[in-house]
Amino acid sequence: MIGGNVATNAAGAKFIGYGATRNHVQNMTVVLPGGEIVELGKTADKDATGPNLMELFIGSEGIFGFIIDVTFKTYPIPKFSESVILHTNNLFEVYELLKEPSKMITAIEFLDFNSQHLLDGNAKSKYEILIELNSDSKRD
């Protein structure tokens, strides 16, 4: 499954805080169509020495081969984490809240009325937004 995430450059709810999968891949092992196993990787965070074959595999949806092993960059676990649910009937309010970048917002999920209704049969508003906030300081 992880190879599939990399092959599609998948991004989920934490995209807003951490970016796309591409930003975190350090190394990978791939099987080429002819059966050859190749190890690919980054030599540095910034590398302008020419084409990086690993970058071709990220988001390629498997057309160049199968990704069978991946090494990701990791991050420290934040000391404090909270989740909040916001209800609103006005999408502009959501835009106003999120238009300013925040290092504390690390995940966001957006549910419209129909999605809320499917989950629990009881939508409280037109829109429900689940936001995860992380920080290393309790003051934030």
Hey, where are the domains in the chain?
A: 2-72, 80-135
Place of tokens 């499917």: 118
pTM: 0.70
Tens-place pLDDT, residues 26-40: 999 999 999 999 999
- Residue 103 vs residue 113, higher pLDDT: 113
Choosing among 3.40.50.300, 3.30.465.10, 3.50.50.60, 3.20.20.140, the CATH entry for 2-72 is: 3.30.465.10
Q: What value does the CA radius of gyration of the chain take, rounded to a whole number of Å?
A: 19
For residue 87, give both structure tokens.
Answer: 């209800």
Segment 116-120 mean pLDDT: 84
Residue given tokens 């934490």 in the structure block:
14
Distance, CA of 89 to CA of 71 (rounded, Å): 42
Reported as a single tens digit per residue, the pLDDT across 63-73 is: 999 999 999 99
Neighbours of 131 (CB within 10 A): 21
